[in-house]
Structure formats: C-alpha cells, structure tokens
Amino acid sequence: MGRPFLAFGIAAALLGSCPLAANAQYFGRNKVQYDHTDVRVLATEHFDLYYPREQLSAALTAGRLAERWYDRLSKALQHTLKRRQPLILYASHRTFEQTNVWSGLIDERTGGFTESRKRRIVIPFASTLAETDHVLGHEIVHAFQYDIASESKAPLDVPLWFVEGMAEFLTLGPHDPLTDMWMRDAAARETLPSIRDLSSPRFFPYRWGAALWTFLTNQYGADLPARALRAKRDARRRLEADDLIRCVRCQKMILATETRCPKCGVHFQGQAYEFEKSADRPRSTRPFWITIVAIMLLIVFTSQVFR
Ligand SMILES: [Zn+2]
Ligand SMILES: [Zn+2]
C-alpha cells in the first residue's frame, strides 16, 4: 500500500472498512466456498447483473437503482462507460464473503468492492434498501473513475481521500449528517486537518474526503470532480507521451519512470524524469571538456608567443 495509486485499486474495493485489515492474507487460511448458487444474468441498459436464481425481484430492484445511478453519475462526471458494467450480486453478506472474484479475505465491515482488472462490481444485498442503494452508487462511482483513468496506461496517482471521498460525496450529497457531525466536532476542537494531512491513515478518507469535496465543489463548481479526474488522467498521459528521456549521465534514451539507468547504472533519487527536470541536476560533461581544450589551446598559444 506504499504508493498512492496502488491504494486506488485496493481501497476502491472497500467501503467503510480498514483496507489493510481486510486485505490481510493469513497463512494457512483459505477462503472456503461452501454455498453453491445457481447464478442468472439480468441485462439492463448499461449493466449485466449476476444474481442468485431465487433473488430475481431483488435483482430487478438493484437493476433499477443501478440505472438511476448511471444516469446521475454520467451527468456528474460527464462520462459514459465504454462497455457494459458487470455487477455481481450476493443474497447475503455470508455468501458475498465467499466470492471468488477477489482472492483476499473479506471481513464483515466491507460493504462491496470494485475490482480493477475486469472492473466488476461485487456487492451483497444490505440489510436495508437505502444501504444497498448507497453501496451500489459508491461502487458505480469507482467504475466511472476506473473508466476515466483507463484512458491513460497507468492508474491515477491520487490519494485515497480523492477517490473514496468523491464516491461518498457523489452518493451521499453535500449534506450528509454524519460527515457534518465529524466536521462540526473537529471545527469546535480546532483540529481540522490540512489537505496534506488527509493522506495520513489517521484520517478516515471516506468522511474527510467527502467533506473536502463538499467544500471544493462549493468553491470551484459542481463539475470539479469531473475536471479533477480528467486533469489527473491527462497529467499521466503527458508523462507517457514523452516516455523516453535522455539519461543525465550517459545520454542514452531510457524510460522516464526508471529509478536507475539500465545503460550506465546511475541511480536517480526518484524517477529519471524528475531528475532531468530538477534544476540542480549534474551538468553534462561536455562543457568540462570544452574548458580543458580551451586551456590547452591557451597554453599552446602562449608558448608560441613567448618562445
Ligand atoms: Zn470505495
Ligand atoms: Zn545512463
């Protein structure tokens, strides 16, 4: 979980739970699949819902809710998904925990997840319809985030509050009582964190991120999440566009993201492109040779004159 963009994939998978705890793999513990269900597929306009056969009416409801979210979110994020969205539904949390879509163990606090590879949304029916609706909306936000990000080759380099806060903000809206309570409490105690502080695991990215997005959209407009996602993606794309740069030492063409030159072996403190842009990078050796030649010419010249 060291790199922020890796967290996008994993944390996107977890709603309301600690990503590290839920992602832990215990030696000797394999996930047991003890329930076997007959799975059916329901196709709506944008989704393919996989549901247990006996849950048709619940699946129809989920399909309607999913389409409603699609409508809202495609407007909010100014995007339409490039392909049909798979949505895997489980009748209960117990059967959800046995999912083979993700090999990691799922704890009881995980409300649902969206896996990054095939971008499947996996959720159990929650105890209330409102809760199912919220989890569904939250995961569909992640599907949109992945789809927008996929236009560059690498995942977005963004902190958790950015993706999780956005998913909460777009599904709960700007007036969530729980988020408001946290903020009022922090404001009263004068413990409101800075944006930089939000990358720390001390701050639950879902609530603090949602509060920050509320503030940011008030300041910069309701389309900010859409613009921010595109800006992040395009920053990645630009980096990919000039993928190859010259090694500052050997001048051979190498990948901009390299931390060590494969040709001459020089280590960069960070990635090669940062080093290249850095003002204090070592100068090319060429001016040094010019200086030597100039001195030699001067010596030859003066020795000619004073012979
Ligand atoms: Zn999430
Ligand atoms: Zn080199």
Residue among 113, 81, 94 nearest 37 (CA): 94
Q: What is the CATH number of the domain that holds 168?
A: 1.10.390
Cα 171 from chain centroid?
18
Going by pLDDT thresholds of 50, 70 and 90, the confidence category of residue 16 is very low
Which one is predicted more confidently, 44 or 108?
44
User: What is the average pLDDT across 244-256?
Assistant: 83
Do 184 and 296 reside in the same domain of the chain? no
Ligand nearest to the CA of 248: 2
One domain for residues 247 and 130: no
Proximal ligand: closest to the CA of 253: 2
Last residue of one domain, picked from the residues 210, 234, 258 = 234
256 CA distance to ligand 2 middle (Å):
12
Question: Are 299 and 156 found together in one domain?
Answer: no
198 and 301 assigned to the same domain: no
Same domain, 51 and 160: yes
pLDDT at 27 over 60: no
Residues 53 and 187 in one domain: yes
Which residue, of 181, 202, 234, is where some domain finishes? 234
Q: What share of the chain is helix, strand, coil (3-state, %, to 5)?
A: 50, 10, 40
User: Do 77 and 31 belong to one domain?
Assistant: yes
Distance 253 CA to ligand 1 centre (A): 39
CA of 139 to the centre of ligand 1 (A): 6
Domain boundary pick from 179, 204, 234: 234
User: How many structural domains are present in the chain?
Assistant: 2
Answer yes or no: do 217 and 267 share one domain.
Answer: no
Helix (H) or strand (E) holding 41: strand 39-43
> Could you tell me which residues come within 8 angstroms of residue 182 by beta carbon, excluding any fewer than 6 positions away?
207, 208, 211
The pLDDT value recorded for residue 34 is 59
pLDDT score recorded for residue 287: 61
Specify whether 166 is located in the same domain as 196. yes
Q: What average pLDDT does the chain have?
A: 82
Q: How far is the CA of 247 from the centre of ligand 2 (A)?
A: 5
Is the pTM of the predicted complex or chain greater than 0.75? no
pLDDT tens digits for range 163-172: 999 999 999 9
Across 31-45, 192-206, 212-226, which has the greatest mean pLDDT? 212-226
Distance 152 CA to ligand 1 centre (A): 21
Q: Which ligand is nearest to the CA of 245?
A: 2
Instruction: List the domain range (segments joined by +) for residue 38.
Output: 4-234
Ion ligand 2: residues, CB within 5 A, are 247, 249-250, 261, 263-264
Residues 286 and 251 in one domain: yes
Same domain, 89 and 185: yes
Q: Which ligand is nearest to the CA of 168?
A: 1
pLDDT at 168: 97
Q: Collect contacts of 28-37 with beta carbons under 8 A, ≥24 apart.
A: 29/105, 31/97, 31/98, 31/100, 31/103, 31/105, 32/98, 33/98, 33/100, 34/98, 35/94, 35/95, 35/98, 37/91, 37/95
Q: Same structural domain for residues 56 and 180?
A: yes
